Amino acid sequence: MESVTLLDILIIFAYLIGMLWIGFYFTKKIKTSGDFFIAGRTLGPVVLMATVCASIIGGSALIGRGGYAYSGGMVAIAIALPYMIGMYIFSFCTGHIADIGRKYNITSIPELMEYRFGKTAKLLAGAMIAYSMAATVGAQISATATVFGVVGGNFGINYVWGAVIASAIFVIYTASSGLFGVVYTDLVQFFILILFVYILLPIMSVKEVGGMAALIAQTPPEKLHLNLSPDIITLIFTNLVMTIAGAEYWQRAFAAKDRKSALRGQFGGTLVYSLTIAVTLFLGLSAALLFPNLIQEYGTADYAIPVMVATILPPGLTGLTFAGLLSVMMSSADTCILVATQAGVNDIWRTLHPNMTDRQELRLSRIITVLISLFALVVALFYTSAYDALMFAWTFYAAAMGLPCLAALYWKKANNPGILSGMIVGLVTSIIWKLLGEPYGIGSTIAGVALCGVALVGVTLATYKKYPSRQAS
């Protein structure tokens, strides 16, 4: 039976206070909206590596995929690998993104869309990014609430109260210090995560079940084989496309101090993430052996890793490992809050109100940060599964923005009619396909991306001579 001592609670509390302190410390560095959103383009490779990796390994990736590993075994690997492949593909793009950002003073995907295709493309991209990132925060709140439910169960903290507490913590240090606070809390969180969650916990969990040989021998064979259902194939495809167009990773590239830092930071973060994928599988399979009735007791497999932490680790290490779990959610949540805020304020509001002063923009950014966190809280309360919340956010965005983002970067012929057609067709198709129940077993993302590509290429080739676009190279 899980047990969290007073010492563990104090350690977790000290960790949370420390993260808030870092956030407030970097408040003094925030002079302009550029400081708030892209840290003044000052980030070097080490900081970028840590913040990229910490952002990749979110609550949905660890808690959600841990739940998938608990229930389905190798499925957890199947849905993680496309994400990794997408991150490596994107890593090759980061140098080009950093160069474009510096050359044309571009700080976001919507600003690139405006530079090449006009304001309408910028507004549409900004709206979809704000929605997807805010909903992604909901996935992190859901995962954090699950952890709080285990940690604070003896203190009357259930899922709902855990979600409320998580929202409050996320918004406080993100709203106070912007990307400066985010990346430097990510740096601390990265080392806590690796040491306690990705080294200590797997070693202890495998030891608890009697070693690796015993783990494999006791695991049902079907969990060690990859059975790809249509739903899993859709998840795989969504992960791949969404990663390449992930606004949070574009933001890191724009924030790099130079091309070399962007490339090294992104590749380094992706490499560390690659090395940790198998950990989720081991944790989920170990939890399935140790706690076979977990779903009946808690209602969802998402509790697999938190319950394991509270059960198999001694006092003190339990608190430190829970701090590591919380770092996973916090590092992803603060990033997504910031990107959503940038899309809402800089890419939408400032576009519609160009005379807004930088001071007004900074004040509005902090207000919007709070509102986005409230929306994310609603998502978390509706989708109590972290991975379900994440897929809710990603499906429609991937369908509408994956190919247009690549076209904006590399296809010189791409123009305003083609990009707008692709974005709208991709979005509408994915929504309609979802409402129809995904006919023929074809996922919403797959259908949306396919028709987005047809519309984008077809309309562009038919109109690019009449409607040429500005180049960014």
CA dist 230 → 45, 81, 121, 326 (Å): 39, 17, 32, 32
Give the model's pLDDT for residue 112: 92
| 373: Cβ contacts below 8 Å, ≥ 6 apart | 137, 167, 170, 171, 337
Give the alpha-carbon dihedral of 104, 249, 337, 113, to 10 degrees. Answer: 40
Secondary-structure percent of the chain, ordered helix, strand, coil, rounded to 5:
85, 0, 15
Closest CA to 330 of 44, 35, 26, 57: 57
- Please state, in angstroms and rounded to a whole number, the distance separating the CA atoms of residues 113 and 23: 31
- Please state, in angstroms and rounded to a whole number, the distance separating the CA atoms of residues 219 and 12: 33
pLDDT in tens, 57-99: 766 667 778 888 888 888 788 777 877 888 888 888 888 898 9
For residue 233, how many other CB atoms are within 10 A of its CB? 17
* Element spanning 27, H or E: none
For residue 82, how many other CB atoms are within 10 A of its CB? 18
Residues in the chain: 473
For residue 118, how many other CB atoms are within 10 A of its CB? 17
Give the model's pLDDT for residue 427: 92
Helix, strand, or coil (residue 107): coil
Give the model's pLDDT for residue 233: 73
User: Would you say 131 and 379 are in contact if contact means Cβ atoms under 8 Å apart?
Assistant: no
125: left (phi over 0), alpha (psi -120 to 50) or beta: alpha
Helix, strand, or coil (residue 13): helix
Give the model's pLDDT for residue 299: 80
- Please state, in angstroms and rounded to a whole number, the distance separating the CA atoms of residues 429 and 85: 25
pTM of the model: 0.79
User: Would you say 260 and 91 are in contact if contact means Cβ atoms under 8 Å apart?
Assistant: no
Give the model's pLDDT for residue 301: 85
- Please state, in angstroms and rounded to a whole number, the distance separating the CA atoms of residues 290 and 312: 10
Closest CA to 136 of 302, 1, 322, 337: 337
> Residues of the chain whose pLDDT is less than 70?
1-3, 23-42, 55, 58-61, 152-156, 173-185, 228-229, 231-232, 235, 383-393, 472-473
Give the model's pLDDT for residue 467: 85
Q: What dotted CATH number matches 6-394?
A: 1.20.1730.10
pLDDT in tens, 334-355: 778 878 888 888 888 888 888 8
| Residue extents of the structural domains in the chain | 6-394
Residue located via tokens 């509005």: 364
- Please state, in angstroms and rounded to a whole number, the distance separating the CA atoms of residues 214 and 467: 65
Give the model's pLDDT for residue 413: 92
Closest CA to 205 of 285, 273, 277: 285
